[in-house]
Amino acid sequence: MFQSLGDRLSGIFDGLTRRGNLSESDVNAALREVRRALIEADVSLEVVRGFIEQVRDRAVGAEVTKSVTPGQQVVKIVNDELVAVLGTEAAPLDLNATPPVAIMMVGLQGAGKTTATGKIAKRLKEKQNKKVLLASLDTRRPAAMEQLRVLGEQIDVDTLEIVQGQNPVEIAKRAQKEAKLGGYDVLFLDTAGRTHIDEELMAETAEIKAATNPHEVLLVADALTGQDAVNLARSFDERVSVTGIMLTRIDGDGRGGAALSMRAVTGKPIKLLGTGEKLEDLEDFHPSRVADRILG
Ligand code: GDP
């Protein structure tokens, strides 16, 4: 088990009964523990560095109120700062556009894009009564198209007819036409991933985006991505300007540091969390919950 930041800090501040303001040396000692906690939570080193400086600015000289210990005071400052970086409020998917509203799903292969598409579609249909069309643009893996079709059947949501020989842009355009003609509210464009970021993937993703001008571009990323989270988020955001991030496998062992890394480098909101393999395992992102998890 991880040691919580509170426990670590109470160790440091043990015997320190003095009240008043946090001194620079108190803060430095505490920040060493904060750094450790963030690195254990898989926040990328680059983001840890910037974050620690922000906390230092706020913590030195901060008044320790009577009701808390210095350790608790530092935990509170770190927690507030985490929430501030993660986004103080939940950021829902934005469907505020003329229908059909296109949502493009991007990310690496295996990140959970197709599953996420099914989860969100199911929620939109059941909770918001939306008429949804799903389209797989993965021309390299016929199994991916079939996977989406089966998912669609499972949740009773339409999928675009599979036509051999079209490229991803042609399929996306056909999907938009079909969505318009069929009176759909929302269209999901589930793009192909690759096992790692490469130029071909980025070029294809950018081309699809340019051709379809989706309202949302949701980057789907595995919460266990760890140190690579920064590269991943930055690469996708620079090339296709994502509108939000969905983190999957929050049910795994990780502590969600990728959320902080991705948000810090892109400034784009984490919108949704995948919390399991089942289609019901979808949650809105709550910054304070993830902050708690990162701090242990
Ligand atoms: P894609 O290649 O990005 O479309 O990824 P898939 O949607 O096919 O998902 C890859 C694997 O991850 C599948 O076995 C999914 O069941 C699994 N998966 C997706 N999301 C989650 C999640 O939130 N938690 C867990 N535990 N597994 C997930």
pLDDT in tens, the chain (296 residues): 567 888 877 777 765 555 577 778 878 888 998 999 899 889 999 999 999 999 998 888 888 777 777 788 888 899 999 999 998 777 899 999 999 999 999 999 999 999 999 999 999 999 999 999 999 999 998 899 999 999 999 999 999 999 999 999 999 999 999 999 999 999 999 999 888 888 988 999 999 999 999 999 999 999 988 888 899 999 999 999 999 999 999 998 778 899 999 999 999 999 999 999 999 999 999 998 889 888 87
- Residue 207, token pair as written in the block: 């081309």
Q: What is the distance between the alpha carbons of residues 148 and 136, in angstroms, rounded to a whole number?
A: 7
Annotated binding site for GTP: 107-114, 190-194, 248-251
Contacts of 230 (CB under 8 A, 6+ apart): 44, 46, 47, 261, 262, 265
> Is the CB of 256 inside a 6 Å radius of any atom of ligand 1?
no
> Is the CB of 276 inside a 6 Å radius of any atom of ligand 1?
yes
Q: Complex ipTM above 0.85? A: yes
> Is the CB of 119 inside a 6 Å radius of any atom of ligand 1?
no
Contacts of 29 (CB under 8 A, 6+ apart): 12
Q: What is the distance between the alpha carbons of residues 229 and 261, in angstroms, rounded to a whole number?
A: 6
Q: What is the distance between the alpha carbons of residues 246 and 280, in angstroms, rounded to a whole number?
A: 15
The answer to whether the CB of 106 falls within 8 A of the CB of 237 is no
- Residue 123, token pair as written in the block: 């929620």
> Is the CB of 24 inside a 6 Å radius of any atom of ligand 1?
no
Name which residue sits closest to atom 2 of ligand 1, judged by CA: 110
Q: What is the predicted pLDDT for the residue at 2?
A: 61
Helix (H) or strand (E) holding 63: strand 63-64
The pTM for the full model equals: 0.93
> Is the CB of 115 inside a 6 Å radius of any atom of ligand 1?
yes
Probe ligand 1: pick from 104, 115, 225, max atoms within 8 Å of CB?
A: 115
